[in-house]
Structure 1
Amino acid sequence: MASVSFLLKEPSATKLTPIFAFLSFDGQRVKVYTGLSILPKQWLKAEQRAQERGLPDNGTLNDALKLAEEQLLDCYSQYRALGQLPSTEALRAAVQPVAAPVASTAPVAHSLWEYFDEWIALARAQQKPRSAQVYATAARHLREFSQASKYAVDFDTITPTFGDRYTTYLLHKVQLTDNTVAKQVLTLKRFLRWARDRGYTNATGFDRLSWKRQEPDIMTLTAGEVAALEQLALPAGGYLDNARQLFLLACYTGLRFSDLVSIRTEHLRGHSLRMTTQKTRETVTVPLRPEALTIVEQLLAGKVRAITNQKLNDYLKELGQLASIDAPTEIIRFRGGVRESTTVAKWERLGCHTGRRTFVTLSLERGLRPETIMKVTGHRGWKSFQRYVNVTSDAVEREFRQSWGQ
């Protein structure tokens, strides 16, 4: 867990002295210049804030210190959610003031690629590394298409005809599935709307771009499979036991990986977690069953350790194999509307997001109302929530017997 403290450069000085922030995390302590200064005699060391009584102007200084603290913690959380640690440069950039734009008498024309780079940079500046990564991937595919096909990509040339050529390229040259193609088209349209909203273009041809998304099969664990993981004998504190605890916490709470590894002490409110999700910035309250509360307390105490998403996914497959979660499972993909399927053992498909889907499905099977579950998971609408629902054959059979008295 990360924490921020403030220290004066010269605590005994009789003139203004700079205020430094220190971010402590994962055994490291990074010093960051805040750009703020104060007379030492006005500094409350115990509270790490400026004295406001009789000095009303110091209220603004304290607001700036609070903002710097939030920016540093947010920067840490964003990088930690990706399984990374922020560099000193990234932390310093997080609190660096942004200069106000200077009004220009004449508009400067930029290319589509320059505006795309601006969009990506804006996402990074807003501490959204995952979004920036998605945008950068979309820009890379678009550049490679332009180079491979000799198509002059610009605002005015992105039309339905462009869409036909671009989606054909993504399907056959890049070998993407229908759902990934749909994501690329959606990201491109999002960028183009962003550019149009800011007056960078008046183009409208891209509004008609589309690609049908095929709803994938949702894989979840049954209650019996979750129990098999819970009861699996493992060396306490080992890498597999650690991965199991993180995954079970996802099954018990429905939290995404990025939120699991961002849990801090201030999020724990008795027997629930109250936190703002990393992906959607929704504030959610998650009730904690006893097993979940135990894991959260171990996580806050450092007994359960955050690891990268990729490592967790690798370890989950190892866990699933040890727990004999090996029911034959079909993987269905669509490419150009053509169905492709392969069958694998269920453990081969285990991933961290399976925990969130399992939470939704098992909660429904236990009788929780969809509206209640959506409140916990932060889903705003039924359409997005429905993708997480997997009504198992056992549940269908049980409910059928209950309804018809068999």
Structure 2
Amino acid sequence: MSNYSLSYIIRKNKMRKDGTCPIYARIEVEGDRVEFSTKRKVKPKDWVNKKQKTSESTEYLEEVNNYLDVIKVKALKAYNQLLLQDKLITAKEIRDIVTGKKIEVRKIIEEFEVHNRQIKKLVGTEYAEATYTKYERIKECLEDFIWQEKGQGDVPMREINLAFIQDLESHLKSEFDLSHNTALKYLDGIKKIVLKGFNNGWIDKNPFVNYKRREKKKIPTFLTDEELKAIQEVDLKGINRLQKVKDFFVFSCFTGLSYKDLKNLTYKNLREEDGEIWINTRRTKTKEPVRLILLPPAMKIYRKYEKQNPKYDDVVLPVTSNQNCNAYLKEIADLARLKKKLTFHVARHTFATTVTLNKGVPMEVVQILMGHSSRSSTEHYARISSNSVNNELQQLKTKF
């Protein structure tokens, strides 16, 4: 950084009646030089030019030094900011940023829109459509909060503080009826935009630093062996719409595929080896690879809907909309006399616990079958799977 420097000088030619002289800051970049008043003054006897600071013999002189340090930090930050943005760096440009003559006013909703447009461009390559939809929903909720609290459509990012974040959390829960953990996930999306502003120097501090984020632990809902059997055996003859959704749900219970992955499953994802059907795909959400064999209950459903001479991109199962599936699953649960609310999340959780971990499948294998990107996601199911713990203890007991 040899082309940049900041120094302080006292203007003795502008000495005041009380014997003090104004302190000026001098910025130099590649021979280009500008000077500006720091709005601080000092007597010549109290200025140590070699150290570029006052003698600190009084409280006022200590405050002057602290203020000069702040200017130095701001100037260096401005220099680095211009360097990062690949902009022309001049002494005047740095001075204007330090003195506030050139402050970039960035607004949170505007930046959110920029962010969401970038996400939309990458849908299908780096992001799923659901990710874009999620960020759009977060932006809408934030806009609603700003309108109700500020009476305007947007606010500068520098106006966001801890109180703003805490009030927003309450707004998400009360006005949009979001659960505690979902509200925190929405705030994570907003934090991403705020951090971008902080890292780019548009705001001086990160307002999320002192925000205490505490998730509430949730126990995933899954079916026991008896409940899964009740679903498989429920009589739905003559009710074709329910029979189909039941088949899709049971297929998910024995493969661990999410609703989206099930809906997108095509014949190109299947391979037959020695009479067995293998699924080779990637999770829509995490892009993690999934490779698993069709267990007998899933194989039975596959054969039921199997097409003759299918095309490469034909879907394996004619899955309907998620809204219809969930509505029909409620009817199925009632007919099977189950009190649990059935969703495809429940089917996936059932595969992780009842179908695999409880049957002694090692956690490392379940992680691969589920398409989890981290072991901690799979361990979550192991903690709630009391049967697997019981099985391990029974095996340990036989060794004594």
Shorter-chain TM range is 0.5 to 0.7
CA distance in 1, matches of 2:364, 2:283: 18
Residue 307 (1) aligns with residue 320 (2): yes
CA distance in 2, matches of 1:389, 1:311: 31
Residue of structure 1 equivalent to 2:345 = 353
Q: What displacement does 1:189 show? A: 1.5
Pick from 208, 216, 227 the counterpart of residue 218 of structure 2: 216
Judge conservation of contact 1:361–1:390 (CA < 8 Å) in 2.
Answer: no
Pick from 267, 270, 280 the counterpart of residue 286 of structure 2: 280
Residue of structure 1 equivalent to 2:296 = 290
* Larger relative contact order, structure 1 or 2 (CA cutoff 8 Å, min sep 6): 1
Q: What displacement does 1:308 show? A: 1.1
Code of the aligned partner of 2:119? A
Judge conservation of contact 1:155–1:203 (CA < 8 Å) in 2.
Answer: no
Give ranges in structure 1 of 5+ residues lacking alignment.
Answer: 1-102, 326-344
Residue of structure 1 equivalent to 2:184 = 182
Residue of structure 2 equivalent to 1:259 = 261
CA distance in 2, matches of 1:229, 1:263: 23
Residue 129 (1) aligns with residue 125 (2): no
Q: Which segment is superposed worse, 257-266 or 269-278?
A: 269-278
Give ranges in structure 2 of 5+ residues lacking alignment.
Answer: 1-85, 89-103, 308-314
Moved beyond 6 Å, runs of 4+: none
Q: CA 1:260–1:201 in 2, change beyond 3 Å: closer, same or farther?
A: farther
Q: What displacement does 1:200 show? A: 8.1
Judge conservation of contact 1:145–1:166 (CA < 8 Å) in 2.
Answer: yes
Pick from 375, 383, 387 the counterpart of residue 382 of structure 1: 375
The percent identity for this pair of structures is 23
Q: What displacement does 1:222 show? A: 0.7
Q: What displacement does 1:369 show? A: 0.6
Aligned residues: 282
CA distance in 1, matches of 2:325, 2:201: 42
Residue of structure 1 equivalent to 2:169 = 167
Q: CA 1:316–1:175 in 2, change beyond 3 Å: closer, same or farther?
A: closer
Residue 324 (1) aligns with residue 337 (2): yes
Residue of structure 1 equivalent to 2:156 = 154
Pick from 113, 116, 122 the counterpart of residue 117 of structure 1: 113
Residue of structure 2 equivalent to 1:371 = 364
Q: What displacement does 1:278 show? A: 1.1
Judge conservation of contact 1:220–1:390 (CA < 8 Å) in 2.
Answer: no
Residue 141 (1) aligns with residue 137 (2): no
Judge conservation of contact 2:278–2:292 (CA < 8 Å) in 1.
Answer: yes
Question: What TM-score results when the alignment is normalised by the length of structure 2?
Answer: 0.62
Residue pairs, 1:186-197, within 5 angstroms: 186-193=188-195
Q: How large is the RMSD of aligned CA atoms in angstroms?
A: 3.2
CA distance in 1, matches of 2:353, 2:267: 29
Q: CA 1:394–1:274 in 2, change beyond 3 Å: closer, same or farther?
A: closer
Code of the aligned partner of 1:366? K
CA distance in 1, matches of 2:105, 2:303: 54
Q: What displacement does 1:387 show? A: 3.6
Query: Radius of gyration: which is bigger?
Result: 2
Q: CA 1:382–1:395 in 2, change beyond 3 Å: closer, same or farther?
A: closer
Q: CA 1:148–1:371 in 2, change beyond 3 Å: closer, same or farther?
A: same
Question: After superposition, what is the alpha-carbon deviation per residue over 1:121-146, rounded to whole angstroms, capped at 9, x for unaligned?
Answer: 33333223211121111111111111
CA distance in 2, matches of 1:121, 1:200: 22
SS in 1 for 2:254: helix
Judge conservation of contact 1:218–1:389 (CA < 8 Å) in 2.
Answer: no
Q: CA 1:372–1:322 in 2, change beyond 3 Å: closer, same or farther?
A: same
Q: CA 1:295–1:195 in 2, change beyond 3 Å: closer, same or farther?
A: farther
CA distance in 1, matches of 2:260, 2:239: 22
CA distance in 1, matches of 2:383, 2:227: 15
Judge conservation of contact 2:107–2:155 (CA < 8 Å) in 1.
Answer: no
Residue pairs, 1:75-90, within 5 angstroms: none
CA distance in 2, matches of 1:104, 1:393: 60
Residue of structure 1 equivalent to 2:250 = 248
Q: What displacement does 1:273 show? A: 0.7
Q: CA 1:149–1:300 in 2, change beyond 3 Å: closer, same or farther?
A: farther
CA distance in 2, matches of 1:296, 1:200: 56
Q: What displacement does 1:298 show? A: 4.5
CA distance in 1, matches of 2:374, 2:217: 16
Q: What displacement does 1:323 show? A: 1.4
CA distance in 2, matches of 1:123, 1:210: 28
